Amino acid sequence: MEKLTITEIAKAANGTYTNDGEIFRIISNSKEAKEGDLFVAVRGERFDGHNFIPDAIEKGCTAVLSNEKNKYRNHSDKTIYVEDTKQALLDIAEYYKSKFNVKTVGVTGSVGKTTSKDFIACVMESKYKTLKSMGNENNEIGLPKTVFNMDSSYEAAVFEMGMSNFGEISKLTKVAKPDIGVITNIGECHLEYLKTRENILKAKMEICEGMKDNSPLIICGDNDLLKNVTSNRLKVIKYGIENPDCFIKAENISEVGMETKFDVVIKDSRFEADIPVIGIHNVLNALAAIAVGLECGISVSDSIAALKNYEPSGMRQKISEINGVILVEDCYNASPTSVSAAMRTFGKMNNNGRKIAVLGDMLELGSISKEAHRNIGDVLSENEIQEAFTYGEEMRVCTARAYELGVQAVNYDTKEELITDLVSEIKPGDAIWVKGSRGMKLEEVVEAVHQFLGK
């Protein structure tokens, strides 16, 4: 982060203060506080940052951002007072980003946004020094945190934008002001709050609010809702595999080992490509990145070369082979769309033994949850997954349906029981794919399997 004065910050946040000073870092964790920091007291569901203001000041931070004028009067000389610290954080981030001239890409979607963001960053980095959202820092706290990592050496930025309800992406796009917008998918995530997929589309389309006229909006033309999106204000560019109307398409897709090969087709031109991950959904993510590259002056050939450097982030489809067993860690999140795509990819995987799925509940599905989980049972059978170890209340209907169709499926009340039975079953040649919503914490299963196989 480059230096800001307290005067600048207070003006951007519409706040009041008594003393000026210089800020070199903006934080929301008091444990990290030191001289030159601005500590932002954020009120969350489980904690209130205002309670940590004394700790941050004791550790030497230069200033704090607070909306409580009476609680810590003895620290008033170090305090910028605002009405809402979360909104102030967004306002400061908006001001800070406006100081830099960088090519900016905003990425959202029900599924695939983090992987697409990473693919896009791979392509952008082939020509520009690029800042990208780390992990899934895609909310009103995480996105400003990424923005504050920017300095004048950066030439491009790729920001992921998440949401669970209306108005959230609207706030983020106002900060990021994307030159290019990308929407990967409209699925079933957040139906618990938004009720219909049409509402999810409306919420995702808020990304356009921060974009200038004639900016490119790059969307997946294979998605049943996105394929009908048009705009009188933006340049809509569609990518896909199945939709012949897409500007950029993939054909001749094949999986070889742990790579996926395909042809990129744009009008009458054809380019051979391969990416170091498997799955048709990853081909779509790669097409999005190539489309962004074209809008930023990066040739298709250079984009294809850059995509070979892609590495999965977080817990997304990390494939390892340990003592003859293939283990896929894909447990960052889960939705009906992403689990189905994962199991279709799993079904095509070449391994010498059984295919064993370890699945946790898919959360935030609202009224469709039971049907959606039951349908995954069909997906397991259709893709010849021999065994399924499931965890969670919602997964019980999936387990029952899969067992009915011939899959050896068992549901567990605890991860400890699941782990005990799973490791006793594993044999060389087996492949294990672990996937579930973030709240299910199935990385604990992955860690246990790693420990068992590493003995």
Please name which of 275, 337, 272 lies closest in space to residue 119, comparing C-alpha atoms: 275
169 in Cβ contact with 159 (< 8 Å): no
**Angle (deg, nearest 10), helices 336-348 and 369-382:** 10
List, in sequence order, the alpha helices (H) in 76-135: 85-97, 113-125
What was the pLDDT predicted at 288?
98
**DSSP bridge pairs for 108:** 183
409 in Cβ contact with 391 (< 8 Å): no
**Angle (deg, nearest 10), helices 300-307 and 113-125:** 120
- Pairing mode, if any, of strands 269-275 and 259-266? antiparallel
Please list, in sequence order, all residues whose beta carbon lies within 8 angstroms of the beta carbon of residue 38, skipping any fewer than 6 positions away. Answer: 6, 9, 23, 25, 26, 27, 61, 62, 63, 64, 65, 80
Per-residue confidence in pLDDT tens, the chain, 455 aa: 999 999 999 999 999 998 899 999 999 999 999 999 999 999 887 888 899 999 999 999 999 999 876 565 566 788 999 999 999 999 999 999 999 999 999 999 988 888 899 999 999 999 999 999 987 689 999 999 999 999 999 999 999 999 989 999 999 999 999 999 999 999 877 677 888 999 999 999 999 999 999 999 999 999 999 999 999 999 999 999 999 999 999 999 998 877 899 999 999 999 999 999 888 889 999 999 999 999 999 999 999 999 998 887 665 678 888 989 999 998 878 889 889 989 998 998 888 899 999 999 998 888 899 999 999 999 999 999 999 999 999 999 999 999 999 999 999 999 999 999 999 999 999 999 999 888 899 999 999 998 998 75
Please name which of 276, 281, 283, 282 lies closest in space to residue 259, comparing C-alpha atoms: 276
Q: How far apart are CA 328 and CA 334, in angstroms?
A: 14
What was the pLDDT predicted at 70?
56
What was the pLDDT predicted at 155?
98
Largest CA distance in the chain: 71
3-state secondary structure of 41: coil
Phi, psi for residue 449 in degrees, rounded to 5:
-65, -40
What was the pLDDT predicted at 366?
85
CA dihedral for 379, 381, 382, 385, sign (positive or negative): positive
Please name which of 253, 261, 239, 266 lies closest in space to residue 116, comparing C-alpha atoms: 239
Residue 429, sorted as left (phi over 0), alpha (psi -120 to 50) or beta, turns out to be: left
Q: How many CB atoms lie within 10 A of CB 115?
A: 29
CA dihedral for 9, 83, 50, 140, sign (positive or negative): negative
Please list, in sequence order, all residues whose beta carbon lies within 8 angstroms of the beta carbon of residue 293, skipping any fewer than 6 positions away. Answer: 123, 124, 126, 299, 300, 302, 303, 306
**DSSP bridge pairs for 240:** 249
What was the pLDDT predicted at 137?
85
3-state secondary structure of 245: coil
Place of tokens 């307290």: 6
What was the pLDDT predicted at 315?
59
Q: How far apart are CA 301 and CA 263, in angstroms?
A: 12
Is the pTM for the entire model greater than 0.95?
no
